[in-house]
Structure 1
Amino acid sequence: MAELMAENRIEVNINGSSVTVAAGCSVAAALAVAAAPGITRRSVSGMPRAPLCGMGICQECRVSIDGRAHRLACQTECVAGMRIETAQAAA
């Protein structure tokens, strides 16, 4: 059983730190697993933003993935080796 669980795990990089998550999970879920504070970006007024709707409508979960800005964390599936940067990393 432990071997099966290990096969269903992948490693991603969040703000420069390696994090092991379940294969197939969303980037938003990976941020939660990584105990990231939930801040994925800041509004134009500087207020912290995090996932709200979970279905891509609010766009509060935008992050940079593999150097591409404004990707929706709630709608993007984690891929092994993915580099995820939140607004907190830039601050």
Structure 2
Amino acid sequence: MEATNNITKAYREKAFTIEARKTVGQRLQQARAAKGLTLEQAAIAAGVTANNIHCYEQGSPAPPDVLIKLTSEVYRCSLHEILHSSTPYP
């Protein structure tokens, strides 16, 4: 869990470049699409607004608890896969 906290802390503290955050956002969008979820459905499952999900997908930093919930519970993928994958999400 400490490694996950370090990753999400770096993400929130802008250790990731703007370009990297946009890439993470694209992966979040691809993961959502792969599950066949609308913005609204993902938002309800994560406990945030659809606008929040949209902003995260555009590259705004997501709070660590939301990012973890989206990846592990809603999209059923690993946080590492979203943050560090070198290939596009399937």
Q: Which structure dedicates a bigger proportion of its chain to helix?
A: 2
Superposition TM-score, scaled by structure 1 size: 0.30
Superposition TM-score, scaled by structure 2 size: 0.30
Q: Which structure dedicates a bigger proportion of its chain to strand?
A: 1
Larger Rg over CA atoms: 1
